[in-house]
Amino acid sequence: MNRRVGRIVLITVGVIAVLVGAVWTGQGLNLIPGSVMSGSRLWLTVGVILIVVGIIVGTLGLRQSGRDRTSK
């Protein structure tokens, strides 16, 4: 059961990181105006990095689930 919870946490954190990164990227590109972050290259960079990290974390969670299925 602990592995299952760990997988769920990794996938959830990955999805949240991708969503937050997408918002920050949109603000950095000035697609989401009305914030101090809008049009800032810093937030574009941070958003893209967060998206990549989120994809990596989510993929780790998905790969764990694949290993668990084959070991049963």
Can you give the pLDDT at residue 29?
Answer: 95
Number of domains into which the chain is organized = 1
Label residue 9 by pLDDT band (50, 70, 90): very high
Q: Is residue 72 part of a domain?
A: no
Alpha-carbon gap, residue 26 to 22, rounded angstroms: 6
pTM (predicted TM-score): 0.83
Tokens describing residue 45: 């960079």
Looking at residue 2, its pLDDT comes to: 84
Task: Identify the domain containing residue 27 by its residue range.
Answer: 2-67
In a domain, 57, yes or no: yes
Write out pLDDT tens, residues 15-72. 999 999 999 999 999 999 888 899 999 999 999 999 999 999 999 999 985 555 555 4
Let me know the angle formed at the C-alpha of 26 by 39 and 30, rounded to the nearest 5 degrees. 30
